[in-house]
């Protein structure tokens, strides 16, 4: 398989320039960024963000790092791209190997996922799908994803009865006010307009996927998730999109993947305009995801240019820079 390059941004399509640290996000007012809490917020149980402790009717969001989220509303839990294991592939030291064996840290995963009824999967690269078979098998959750995701999960032994295939455009009603819209989307691109492991799977492989290279993209989805009475959240797993697929979407909060390159023309302004300039933007997929899931977040990109573009494109939008596992509401 031809790798377009060895820096992480080169193939996953998210940031380069590691170690820059979070830039200062200046300014008060609606465009100001909420900075992550100081150390220990994950353990404190405090709700960061917007409006104090959650009530029983709040929708509560916890960032799992990478693109992943846990969303709770009352007793109901939805996961998006839950990747907690964060094993080392050599991505950050120039020794990336697509032959890296897939492993699951079951103790860690079990500690954080709760009892999800739904797992939404944007695409089938390992940093999005690796932990999903374990979650599906142990919780019985329904998994919503592409045809590729379906076949890979079947090969891992997940029953077909738990799998829902979407292409984008579906608006799925899960009862009790939970509505999930699937949105056809696109994968991130490096500066050469390429990305790691494109391709789709149209039948279950004879053997379960065992290495990072076994997991091709399988096209990319985004999702809009809303519980009745709560904010609608647009969830991205990669930093590109199909503008015309977003027509009419007006999420209250958008979890936006931070791009690594300028391969996508005017990514931030086009995206925010297409989404109607959401009230809140939360940058995701900007962290080093081969380190432990512990605050403070280790950025693998300078968020400064991204945040500046958001301020310019949507001056009334508040930016919330998340840290790991801290419960947040986006009222």
Q: Which residues bind Zn ion (CB under 5 A)?
A: 125
- Distance CA(183)–CA(220), nearest Å, equals 9
The distance of closest approach from Cβ of residue 254 to Zn ion in the complex, given in angstroms and rounded to an integer, is 19
Closest residue to bound Zn ion by CB: 125
Encoding tokens for residue 283? 């940058």
The distance of closest approach from Cβ of residue 146 to Zn ion in the complex, given in angstroms and rounded to an integer, is 12
If the CB atoms of residues 31 and 221 are measured against Zn ion, the closer one turns out to be 221
The distance of closest approach from Cβ of residue 231 to Zn ion in the complex, given in angstroms and rounded to an integer, is 26
If the CB atoms of residues 257 and 313 are measured against Zn ion, the closer one turns out to be 257
The distance of closest approach from Cβ of residue 247 to Zn ion in the complex, given in angstroms and rounded to an integer, is 24
If the CB atoms of residues 152 and 313 are measured against Zn ion, the closer one turns out to be 152
Helix (H) / strand (E) element for 11: namely helix 8-12
The distance of closest approach from Cβ of residue 220 to Zn ion in the complex, given in angstroms and rounded to an integer, is 7
Encoding tokens for residue 83? 């990747």
The distance of closest approach from Cβ of residue 119 to Zn ion in the complex, given in angstroms and rounded to an integer, is 17
- At 199, give phi and psi (nearest 5°): 125, 160
- At 12, give phi and psi (nearest 5°): -85, -20
The separation between CA 148 and the C-alpha centre of its own chain, rounded to angstroms, equals 18
Using DSSP's 3-state secondary structure scheme, residue 213 falls into helix
- Distance CA(161)–CA(75), nearest Å, equals 23
If the CB atoms of residues 149 and 232 are measured against Zn ion, the closer one turns out to be 149
- Read out DSSP for 239-252? SEE-GGGGTT---S
If the CB atoms of residues 115 and 167 are measured against Zn ion, the closer one turns out to be 167
Backbone φ/ψ region at 29: left (φ over 0), alpha (ψ -120 to 50), beta: left
If the CB atoms of residues 125 and 279 are measured against Zn ion, the closer one turns out to be 125
The distance of closest approach from Cβ of residue 252 to Zn ion in the complex, given in angstroms and rounded to an integer, is 26
- Distance CA(76)–CA(156), nearest Å, equals 26
- At 41, give phi and psi (nearest 5°): -65, -30
- Read out DSSP for 105-174? -HHHHHHHH-S-SEEE-S--SHHHHTTHHHHHHHH--EEEE-HHHHHHHHHTT--GGGEEE--S--EEE-
Helix (H) / strand (E) element for 253: namely strand 253-257
If the CB atoms of residues 59 and 130 are measured against Zn ion, the closer one turns out to be 130
Nearest alpha-carbon partner for 14 in 186, 267, 258: 258
The distance of closest approach from Cβ of residue 268 to Zn ion in the complex, given in angstroms and rounded to an integer, is 19
If the CB atoms of residues 37 and 82 are measured against Zn ion, the closer one turns out to be 82
If the CB atoms of residues 59 and 190 are measured against Zn ion, the closer one turns out to be 190
The distance of closest approach from Cβ of residue 292 to Zn ion in the complex, given in angstroms and rounded to an integer, is 21
């Amino acid at each position: 398989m031809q790798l377009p390059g060895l820096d992480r941004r080169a193939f996953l399509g998210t940031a380069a320039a590691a170690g820059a640290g979070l830039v200062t996000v200046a300014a008060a007012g609606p465009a100001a960024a909420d900075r992550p809490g100081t150390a220990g917020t994950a353990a404190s149980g405090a709700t960061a963000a917007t409006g104090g402790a959650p009530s029983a009717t709040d929708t509560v969001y916890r960032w799992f790092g990478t693109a992943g989220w846990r969303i709770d509303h009352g007793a109901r839990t939805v996961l998006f791209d839950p990747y907690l294991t964060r094993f080392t592939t050599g991505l950050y030291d120039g020794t990336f190997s697509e032959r890296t064996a897939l492993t699951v840290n079951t103790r860690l995963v079990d500690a954080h996922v709760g009892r999800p009824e739904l797992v939404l999967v944007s695409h089938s690269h390992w940093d999005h799908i690796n932990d999903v078979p374990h979650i599906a098998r142990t919780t019985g959750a329904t998994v919503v994803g592409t045809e590729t995701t379906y076949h890979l999960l079947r090969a891992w032994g997940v029953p077909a009865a738990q799998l829902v295939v979407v292409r984008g455009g579906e608006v799925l009603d899960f009862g009790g006010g939970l509505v999930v819209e699937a949105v056809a989307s696109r994968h991130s691109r490096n500066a050469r307009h390429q990305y790691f492991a494109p391709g789709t799977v149209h039948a279950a492989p004879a053997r379960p996927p065992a290495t990072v290279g076994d997991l091709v993209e399988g096209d990319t989805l985004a999702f809009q998730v809303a519980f009745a009475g709560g904010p609608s959240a647009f969830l991205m797993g990669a930093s590109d999109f199909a503008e015309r697929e977003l027509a009419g979407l007006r999420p209250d909060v958008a979890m936006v993947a931070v791009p690594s390159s300028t391969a996508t023309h005017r990514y931030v302004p086009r995206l925010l305009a297409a989404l109607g300039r959401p009230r809140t933007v939360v940058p995701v997929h900007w962290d080093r995801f081969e380190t432990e899931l512990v605050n403070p977040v280790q950025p693998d990109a300078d968020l400064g240019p991204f945040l500046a573009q958001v301020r310019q494109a949507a001056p009334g939008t508040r930016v919330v820079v998340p840290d790991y596992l801290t419960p947040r509401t986006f009222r």
